[in-house]
């Protein structure tokens, strides 16, 4: 029978080996440009016990820290219908200056839809913030209303209710989060890998998909 110190030494050695193996698999997975879900599957397949070994409960959580924006711009709008046109002009000018003219139309459309809803419920000035990284453009609309937008299926005669359907269809991702005195509705647009007309420089490297975390559990 192994004495207690020897058993502890063997267990510690096994943990060190597994941590080293995990580090190696992480480097391999992300060097290949895998998504977080693909990386999780690859790592679990490599490290889970073999069929002839005792089973174990494993949960693997991977998360990616968002890249710092290359540029940001913000403006404040009054909660009135004229704010929608002002927001479109701001988005057009900003994205054109950043070299993303191909994203102006969808960004203006989605900002208009979200801002129209914000104007309807807000009582204080509304904030519009844009920023971009090498892989995506993000827009954030913040107002003082706690009323959260909900996607619904409008009837054929309804004059409203289609805004979030457009956001869901055109945005890479979108969502809401609480703000200090209300809420923020945000969306992202993926940056194309091909160079846009009139944009100098080389295309950015192939990005990860627009995903921030992946969880896998196995027994």
pLDDT in tens, 87-133: 999 999 999 999 999 999 999 999 999 999 899 889 999 999 999 99
76, 169: one domain: yes
Residue 202 in this model has a pLDDT that exceeds 60:
no
- For residue 139, being part of any structural domain is answered with yes
Task: Give the DSSP letter string of 113-153.
Answer: HHHHHHHHH-SS-EEEEEEE-SSEEEEEEEES---------
- For residue 106, being part of any structural domain is answered with yes
The reported pTM is 0.61
125, 30: one domain: no
183, 112: one domain: yes
- Which residues touch 184 (CB under 8 Å, ≥6 apart)? 140, 141, 142, 176, 177, 178
Reading the block at residue 187, the tokens are 């969306």
Write phi, then psi, for 149 (nearest 5 degrees).
-70, 140
49, 93: one domain: no
Q: Indicate the number of domains in the chain.
A: 2
pLDDT in tens, 153-191: 555 554 455 568 888 889 999 999 987 889 999 999 998
158, 174: one domain: yes
């Amino acid at each position: 029978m192994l004495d207690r110190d020897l058993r502890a030494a063997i267990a510690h050695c096994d943990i060190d080996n597994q941590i080293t193996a995990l580090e190696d698999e992480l480097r391999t997975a992300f060097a290949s440009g895998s998504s977080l879900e693909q990386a999780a599957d690859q790592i679990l397949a490599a490290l889970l016990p073999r069929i002839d070994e005792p089973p174990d409960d494993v949960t693997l959580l991977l998360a990616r820290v968002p890249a710092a924006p290359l540029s940001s711009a913000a403006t404040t709008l009054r909660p009135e219908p004229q704010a929608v046109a002002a927001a479109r002009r701001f988005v057009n000018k900003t994205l054109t200056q950043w070299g993303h003219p191909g994203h102006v139309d969808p960004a203006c459309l989605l900002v208009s839809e979200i801002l129209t809803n914000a104007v309807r419920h807000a009582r204080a000035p509304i904030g519009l913030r844009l920023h971009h990284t090498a892989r995506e453009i993000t827009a954030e609309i913040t107002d003082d209303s706690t009323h959260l937008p909900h996607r619904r299926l409008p009837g054929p005669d309804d004059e409203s209710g289609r805004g979030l359907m457009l956001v869901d269809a055109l945005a890479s991702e979108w969502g809401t989060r609480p703000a200090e005195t209300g809420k923020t509705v945000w969306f992202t647009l993926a940056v194309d890998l091909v160079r846009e007309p009139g944009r100098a420089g080389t295309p950015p490297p192939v990005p990860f998909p627009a995903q921030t975390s992946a969880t896998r559990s196995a027994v």
